[in-house]
Structure 1
Amino acid sequence: MTGVQIIFYIIAAFILVTALLAVTTRRIFRAAIWLLFSLVGIAGLFFWMDVEFIAAVQIVVYVGGIVVLIIFSIFLTQQSGSEMKQPKLSSKIFSVLAAVFGFGLFYTLISQYNFQPATGKVFSVDVGEIGTQLLSTTKHGFILPFEVVSILLLAAMIGCIVIAMKSKTATDE
């Protein structure tokens, strides 16, 4: 095994362990922190693949934006320290079956194709070109999804504030 493979397996194991901890922990704040570590691991994988721009976007958007928004929402609901209730047995069985089905589907799709390791630097797109295409209104531009995501985040913040205000007034009465 080469050093490149060892580094990949270390990063992949870190991502998988932290993602598993994020979905299995019973405390919601800890789940958000484990999600943060998992997303940082994915950014590390992008840095390892020499895709610095995507890694920086991963850190700024997901780690710096989404996870902070999730943690802010958790604190607004005033239940950051409480334990989540134990899921029903039927929910656990359905979750395990869905995970097994997903792994089976991924294994089937991956085994159908003969993936070969890339040789040399595969990604040679200029950062200026990525920015131009991201904010372009032409056929292959991404300005509309960019604006839709910003409206979605705004709606999520407003929804979190409304939920927090309702629970606060209900406890005051």
Structure 2
Amino acid sequence: MSGSTIIFYMLAALTLVSGALAVTTRQIFRAAIFLLFSLIGIAGLYFWMQYDFVAAVQIVVYVGGITVLIIFSIFLTQQAGDLLPRQKMGRQVFSALAAFCGFALTMLQLYQYSFKNTTAQPVLPTVSNIGDRMLSVDENGFALPFEVVSMLLLAALIGCIVIALRSKPATT
């Protein structure tokens, strides 16, 4: 086994284990820290594949921006030490069923997809090429998914504000 393979498996393990711990822990601050490590693992995979620009954007935007924003919002709402409520069994079963169905659909699509060899030259991952590809509206562009992700982030921001403004029930 080569050193490159070992590095890949270590980064993949860091990403998967941290992601699993982020969604299974009941302590919200620890979930944010595990999310941080998972995103760092993804950035490491980008560096490993020599996509330096995408890795740098991953670190600056997600690790440096989104995760720090989540941690600050946890501290500002003064819920850093609180345990998240234990979910009902019905929700746990539905979540496991949804994860299994998503995994099964992904495997089904991979099984049915026919990979084709290409003779086209690879596009260099420069800032100019990434920008042209991301914002073009032709069949090879990603302008529509870019806008959909923007709307998703806006909805998540509004949801965070609603959750932060919700008052805690009075304990007697």
Partner of 2:157: 156
Matched positions, count: 164
Q: Name the stretch that deviates more: 95-104 or 52-61.
A: 95-104
Deviation at 1:45, TM superposition (A): 0.2
Deviations 1:121-170 (A, max 9, x none): 95513223434666x6876585xx57x849x559827963x7656649x9
Unaligned runs of 5+ in 1: none
Change (3 A) 1:122 1:3: farther
Describe the SS at the equivalent of 1:9: helix
One-letter amino acid matched to 2:108: T
1:114 CA displacement: 6.0
Shift of the 15–114 alpha-carbon distance from structure 1 to 2, 3 Å rule, reads farther
What is the CA RMSD across the aligned residues, in angstroms? 3.5
Provide the residue aligned with 1:13 in structure 2. Answer: 13
CA contact (8 A) 1:77 1:163 kept: no
CA distance in 2, matches of 1:5, 1:166: 47
Residue pairs, 1:52-91, within 5 angstroms = 52-91=52-91
Distance 1:115 1:22, change over 3 A: farther
Which residue in the other structure is 1:32 paired with?
Answer: 32
Match of 2:112?
Answer: 112
Distance in 1, Cα, partners of 2:156 & 2:8: 37
Give TM-score, length-normalised by structure 2. 0.75
**1:103 paired residue number:** 103
* Partner Cα distance (2:67, 2:42) in 1: 14
2:49 aligned partner: 49
Higher RCO (C-alpha 8 Å, min separation 6) = 1
Q: 1:103 to 1:155 in 2, by over 3 A?
A: closer
Output the CA distance in 1 between the equivalents of 2:63 and 2:15: 14
Give, in whole Å, the separation in 2 of the partners of 1:157 and 1:105.
30
Residue 8 of structure 1 deviates from its aligned partner by 1.8
Cα drift, residue 7 of structure 1: 2.3
Partners of 2:35 and 2:71 in 1: how far apart? Answer: 11
- Change in 2 beyond 3 A, CA 1:27/1:158: closer
| % same residue | 53
Q: 1:51 offset after TM fit, Å? A: 0.2
C-alpha distance after superposition, 1:69-94 (max 9, x if no partner): 11122122211111111100001111
Moved over 6 A (4+): 136-139
Q: CA deviation at 1:52?
A: 0.2
Find the aligned partners of 1:22 and 1:37 in 2 and give their Cα distance. 9
